[in-house]
Amino acid sequence: MRVYDVELTSRLLLGTAQYPSPAILTAAVEASGSEVVTVSLRREAAGGREGQAFWSLISSLGVRVLPNTAGCHSVKEAVTTAQMAREVFDTPWIKLEVIGETDTLCPDVFGLVEAARILSAEGFQVFPYTTEDLVTAERLLAAGCKVLMPWGAPIGTGLGLTNVYGLRSLRAHFPEVPLIVDAGLGLPSQAARAMELGFDAVLLNTAVAKAGDPAVMARAFALAVEAGLAARDADPMEPRDMAAPSTPVLGKAVLG
């Protein structure tokens, strides 16, 4: 997978929040095989020694960092947070979140497009957390985004792909744009389904961090992503309404 001229082998991106301990986070990232982890500036700046320890942990994992603007509810807040993140993490990458509704954490797509335009003009490489809406996707691409990150379901719900039609339409309309399903996945089977639909990668956090054994779940998601990609590349059969025998009937013995 190639995003912003960076080649990635793993198609599983992992969040770093909510893990029971640093050791469990480390084990989960290693088990996932992920090359990219998301990090919130709010957590890094949460306080002196703790923030430094967390950053040292992330640095030791040898992965690429994708800072995010989690928790931002306005264009100004998201842009300012992104600018600070670039200084702290020394990367032009930014996962752009502009939240518009508190209960569902649905993106404010109007603010998202505006913030994406500002940040792209400032040299950021924006990964926008968005919906599966086609018009919003067009506006984000026009604003300078080279990748789109539509949600599967609201953040942290584990509901999976709640609008398969919308996601399939998004993939069909933008065949050359890297698309990463971000948020709402709860099971590895849902990640496999996203890959079977033609998506390039998945990003998740809660499903791994809140599992009974995060490292085992991270490995399960890695295998699911790999299986979904392989299934797509194998050109799967189309579903059909009528049954079809798998054993040929020609030449079957006839009993008198």
Catalytic residue positions?
Answer: 95
Exposure of 173 in the CB half-sphere (CA atoms within 13 A): 15
Contact 209, 19 (CB under 8 A): yes
- Measured between alpha carbons, how far is 11 from 207 in angstroms, rounded to an integer? 16
Q: Which neighbouring-strand residues pair with 150?
A: 130
> How far apart (Å, rounded) are the C-alpha atoms in residues 126 and 49?
29
Q: Where are the alpha helices (DSSP H) in the chain?
A: 22-32, 41-44, 48-60, 75-89, 109-121, 134-142, 164-173, 188-196, 206-209, 214-233
What are the residues facing 161 on neighbouring strands? none
Task: Give the burial string for 62-94 (b: 16+ CB within 10 Å, else e).
Answer: ebebbbbbbebeebebbbebbeebbeebeeebb
